[in-house]
A and B are shown apart, each in its own frame.
Chain A
């Protein structure tokens, strides 16, 4: 720490290397576990990155059954352009790694600007870097990462420049972040309000007004706001299986850090305000807030770590024990996050079945919500359910005639069923719901049966 304190450049080099490692972690784990790097939501981003930006921005999703808007962002446009020169996978990895490095460097600079010492800012960055949320943000296909870089850069520029040009650049960067979705606009607004209060200028109100105006104008294009709140109270903890979360130990350390910083609340009031706002927002509005919360918790954790290492302890043994337990806790979070990749695997037979479906006549597909994005991507057809649907009523019809009518009303022509769907993913028993209705061969015809995957055509 002393060396880092003396040489901020060493800290920067360390951070860049650590950031690359953190961003590469999910990909490395996917390779080690032979799992699919493009799994779940990543399939959605993969599909969008193939679309031409000029034809996709603020347009309706061609593969949505309910006319939902495409969540097309500058991130997808960037991948689209890069993929003209590089393989698609490499484009994703490169954009992730570069934005990860940018994010941590801007975050580091911002912490220094807020008055943290070099070593404390460094520790905060390291804590943030090796949190599953950060790795997920920059190590997997994810458009949120770029938005956060823009928000942080906007604040840094606003606070570091005294002239109007700086104000305008930060306004542009804030506005850029808005294009990534409604919730980024929301969290961005929180930061703007705080930045303006901390560092009030003559043009501050004008800047804020311009931002609100931009937000209002932009919302006419329809800002996508489809990211749900996290499940209370464990939905933010990666140790419990939520990939894009923080470790429980990060949270516990943050609580201690908050206690330590409470004594300096006059100076750091905005951290408490932002932490509480983000925490409430995560559970009531959108789980995207966890990435913003992470940036605040990093500071609290840093304060706690320095309290543990440098503070006075009556029981020296306890200090050592707590540090060991905390280290174990962090390692455990990483281990759990890493081990989660073993499950991110689609069966080859399932991929084959969706590819087979690609050349069939148009019609929507009914399959498990977990396969929704994969089906859209490979079969190129609209799907009834994508992950986290409001309900899955279509799987519940036992009566063949009612089932047929319900499916026809949604223009569903194909039903794709595999073994995990039969036993746990959708149904529990062989004669449950739609599985029972499929016995009526006059309405449902099996058109594909290979490797445990069946495709049924409807009437």
Chain B
């Protein structure tokens, strides 16, 4: 092993260690993590995930939850989620390395791609409880298998099995199906040499995915029509897209520009099949995020990983070029220089972004307040909170909530979301009317909410809002009612 490779390996191990420490030290999970925690808890009790909740139905792709449940038999739910995330991050980096090495035929390029991916702050936005990590892991194995295409029956079985597993994990399977269709389109349009079997597998996958989607998402498609494709997200949330600067920061400046350059260079100048697949995935990820089919958090991570894989081409080609020049004897120094640059930029961004992630999580005090709600108030009382705190309240306090982030089968999601926003920004009578309208009995005002919304004036009116608990995060009981004459 060359010492550049050894150095890259150490960098990757450092990245995994950093992610592990951050994940294990965090007090709270992602909002989505609490959703999976509840599902896994239900699997442990009843062997099946929760499909009915608070009078509504939930659409669950349960594989990730089953994995957590299985792991929690040894560790407990919270730790199981964290350990699984760390393992998945490691596995993703491993497959980025394997794919990049396979497509470039260059081990150092593969390690470079993996180290770029490990530096992505997007991982920290999906750190504990994000099913997308498992989905990306499966997607990478799928891509890896495609790069080794063969007509053997065993190979086809593995590809189909991977796709079936992905279908039961995350809606990313739809992204993959669309990407494969775009990929097929590229192959035909650009007349790229390909195997007939590849097209046959894609057609088969499209049919299987169509059938699965009808069975699983039928209710949602029927209820919301085309909105179901956009996750039935309220328009208020749909418009909250990250800026291009945020995207670049979360992916990493070098990974972003190297990846884009490789996509441009190979798409138009060199006809490489795997590039077409990666570009197809990037295009579909972009539009999926734009149309809210997957969240920006997930989309950025998945796109970032594809861009990291593409970056390996730039690394390989650049050093092939260097070898032909007079400065070829400095090749290893240049390599180390680039790696150091990546590390310095990555560490600076990570330090900043880790703080951003931490500030967006529920604090210790928030969690304590939620536990207090669970222990001291009636389990049937509906709790008002920010929409992305709903899953934590459901999982920890076992209380019904006014709104959480599962919008897929929520009726009038726009109205409910707008009401939730209005409650925090309106005057007392209107707030009480809205709280009455949704039969809310407990008002949870977290430390997170303190940062995001100024405290509503009406919460100081003790005659209408009785303060039940306060440790920085506050719990109120609305007591007034608006009666219309």
Given contacts A234-B221, A234-B222, A328-B211, 10 further A-B contacts (CB under 8 A): A234-B226, A240-B218, A241-B218, A314-B151, A314-B195, A317-B153, A318-B156, A319-B200, A321-B204, A325-B211
Measured in the bound complex, the distance between the Cα atoms of B204 and A329 in whole Å is 13
B residues 438-453 in Cβ contact with A at 8 Å? none
B214 with A317: CB separation less than 8 A? no
Chain B residues contacting A317 (CB-CB under 8 Å) are 153, 156
Chain B residues contacting A36 (CB-CB under 8 Å) are none
B218 with A329: CB separation less than 8 A? no
A240 with B214: CB separation less than 8 A? yes
Checking A232, A234, A325, A336 against B204 with a beta-carbon cut-off of 8 angstroms, the contacting residue is A325
Is residue B225 contacting chain A, with contact meaning CB distance below 8 A? Answer: yes
Checking B200, B201, B210 against A249 with a beta-carbon cut-off of 8 angstroms, the contacting residue is B210
Chain A residues contacting B160 (CB-CB under 8 Å) are 321
Measured in the bound complex, the distance between the Cα atoms of B223 and A234 in whole Å is 11
Q: What is the CB-to-nearest-CB distance from B465 to chain A, in angstroms, rounded to a whole number?
A: 23
Checking B197, B211, B225 against A332 with a beta-carbon cut-off of 8 angstroms, the contacting residue is B211
Beta-carbon nearest neighbor of B218 in chain A: A240
Measured in the bound complex, the distance between the Cα atoms of B313 and A307 in whole Å is 39
Is residue B215 contacting chain A, with contact meaning CB distance below 8 A? Answer: yes
Q: What is the CB-to-nearest-CB distance from A308 to chain B, in angstroms, rounded to a whole number?
A: 9
Chain A residues contacting B204 (CB-CB under 8 Å) are 318, 321-322, 325
B residues 190-221 in Cβ contact with A at 8 Å? 195-197, 200-201, 203-204, 206-208, 210-211, 214-215, 218, 221
Beta-carbon nearest neighbor of A329 in chain B: B211
B211 with A315: CB separation less than 8 A? no
Chain B residues contacting A348 (CB-CB under 8 Å) are none
Measured in the bound complex, the distance between the Cα atoms of B208 and A318 in whole Å is 11
What are 14 inter-chain pairs, A to B, with CB distance below 8 A? A231-B225, A241-B222, A248-B214, A252-B207, A256-B203, A314-B195, A314-B197, A315-B201, A317-B156, A318-B156, A318-B197, A322-B200, A325-B207, A398-B484
Beta-carbon nearest neighbor of A431 in chain B: B484
Is residue A418 contacting chain B, with contact meaning CB distance below 8 A? Answer: no
Is residue A313 contacting chain B, with contact meaning CB distance below 8 A? Answer: yes
Q: What is the CB-to-nearest-CB distance from A126 to chain B, in angstroms, rounded to a whole number?
A: 19
Beta-carbon nearest neighbor of B200 in chain A: A318
Chain B residues contacting A232 (CB-CB under 8 Å) are 226
A239 with B207: CB separation less than 8 A? no
Measured in the bound complex, the distance between the Cα atoms of B405 and A269 in whole Å is 48
Q: What is the CB-to-nearest-CB distance from A374 to chain B, in angstroms, rounded to a whole number?
A: 23
Q: What is the CB-to-nearest-CB distance from A38 to chain B, in angstroms, rounded to a whole number?
A: 24
Checking A233, A241, A322 against B207 with a beta-carbon cut-off of 8 angstroms, the contacting residue is A322
Interface 1/0 per residue, A133-167 and B, CB below 8 Å: 00000000000000000000000000000000000
- Of the candidates B153, B214, B222, the one having the most CB atoms from chain A within 10 angstroms of its own CB is B214
Beta-carbon nearest neighbor of A398 in chain B: B484
Q: What 3 A-B pairs are tightest by C-beta distance, nearest first?
A: A314-B197, A241-B222, A314-B196
Q: What is the CB-to-nearest-CB distance from A60 to chain B, in angstroms, rounded to a whole number?
A: 34
Is residue A326 contacting chain B, with contact meaning CB distance below 8 A? Answer: yes
A residues 274-329 in Cβ contact with B at 8 Å? 312-315, 317-319, 321-322, 325-326, 328-329
A234 with B225: CB separation less than 8 A? yes
A240 with B221: CB separation less than 8 A? yes
Measured in the bound complex, the distance between the Cα atoms of B224 and A235 in whole Å is 11
Chain B residues contacting A234 (CB-CB under 8 Å) are 221-222, 225-226
Checking A240, A315, A322 against B222 with a beta-carbon cut-off of 8 angstroms, the contacting residue is A240
Measured in the bound complex, the distance between the Cα atoms of B226 and A314 in whole Å is 36
Measured in the bound complex, the distance between the Cα atoms of B225 and A73 in whole Å is 33
Q: What is the CB-to-nearest-CB distance from A319 to chain B, in angstroms, rounded to a whole number?
A: 7
Measured in the bound complex, the distance between the Cα atoms of B142 and A326 in whole Å is 24
Checking B200, B208, B484 against A313 with a beta-carbon cut-off of 8 angstroms, the contacting residue is B200
B207 with A249: CB separation less than 8 A? yes
Q: What is the CB-to-nearest-CB distance from A341 to chain B, in angstroms, rounded to a whole number?
A: 16
A residues 236-263 in Cβ contact with B at 8 Å? 239-241, 248-249, 252, 256
Measured in the bound complex, the distance between the Cα atoms of B211 and A426 in whole Å is 33
B201 with A252: CB separation less than 8 A? no
Chain A residues contacting B208 (CB-CB under 8 Å) are 325
Beta-carbon nearest neighbor of B221 in chain A: A240
A252 with B225: CB separation less than 8 A? no
Beyond A252-B207, A325-B207, A326-B207, whether A314 also contacts B200 by CB under 8 A is yes
Chain A residues contacting B221 (CB-CB under 8 Å) are 234, 240
Checking A233, A329, A398, A436 against B210 with a beta-carbon cut-off of 8 angstroms, the contacting residue is A329
B195 with A248: CB separation less than 8 A? no
Chain A residues contacting B203 (CB-CB under 8 Å) are 256, 318, 322
Chain B residues contacting A312 (CB-CB under 8 Å) are 196
Beta-carbon nearest neighbor of B228 in chain A: A234
B226 with A233: CB separation less than 8 A? yes
Beta-carbon nearest neighbor of B152 in chain A: A315
B156 with A315: CB separation less than 8 A? yes
B residues 268-307 in Cβ contact with A at 8 Å? none
Measured in the bound complex, the distance between the Cα atoms of B38 and A10 in whole Å is 60
Chain A residues contacting B214 (CB-CB under 8 Å) are 239-240, 248, 332
Interface 1/0 per residue, A205-225 and B, CB below 8 Å: 000000000000000000000
B residues 293-336 in Cβ contact with A at 8 Å? none
Q: What is the CB-to-nearest-CB distance from A426 to chain B, in angstroms, rounded to a whole number?
A: 14
B151 with A332: CB separation less than 8 A? no
- Of the candidates A315, A322, A398, the one having the most CB atoms from chain B within 10 angstroms of its own CB is A315
B207 with A315: CB separation less than 8 A? no
Chain B residues contacting A318 (CB-CB under 8 Å) are 156, 197, 200-201, 203-204
Chain A residues contacting B211 (CB-CB under 8 Å) are 249, 325, 328-329, 332
Chain B residues contacting A326 (CB-CB under 8 Å) are 207
Measured in the bound complex, the distance between the Cα atoms of B160 and A233 in whole Å is 28
Chain B residues contacting A239 (CB-CB under 8 Å) are 214, 218
Measured in the bound complex, the distance between the Cα atoms of B215 and A323 in whole Å is 18
Q: What is the CB-to-nearest-CB distance from A246 to chain B, in angstroms, rounded to a whole number?
A: 13
B215 with A315: CB separation less than 8 A? no
- Of the candidates A319, A322, A436, the one having the most CB atoms from chain B within 10 angstroms of its own CB is A322
Q: What is the CB-to-nearest-CB distance from A387 to chain B, in angstroms, rounded to a whole number?
A: 16
Measured in the bound complex, the distance between the Cα atoms of B151 and A336 in whole Å is 36
Beta-carbon nearest neighbor of A235 in chain B: B225
Beta-carbon nearest neighbor of B201 in chain A: A318
Beta-carbon nearest neighbor of A308 in chain B: B203
Chain A residues contacting B195 (CB-CB under 8 Å) are 314
B residues 127-164 in Cβ contact with A at 8 Å? 151, 153, 156, 160
Checking B197, B210, B225 against A315 with a beta-carbon cut-off of 8 angstroms, the contacting residue is B197
Measured in the bound complex, the distance between the Cα atoms of B196 and A315 in whole Å is 9
B215 with A332: CB separation less than 8 A? yes
Interface 1/0 per residue, B217-244 and A, CB below 8 Å: 0100110011000000000000000000
Beta-carbon nearest neighbor of A231 in chain B: B225
Chain B residues contacting A235 (CB-CB under 8 Å) are 225
Chain A residues contacting B218 (CB-CB under 8 Å) are 239-241, 336
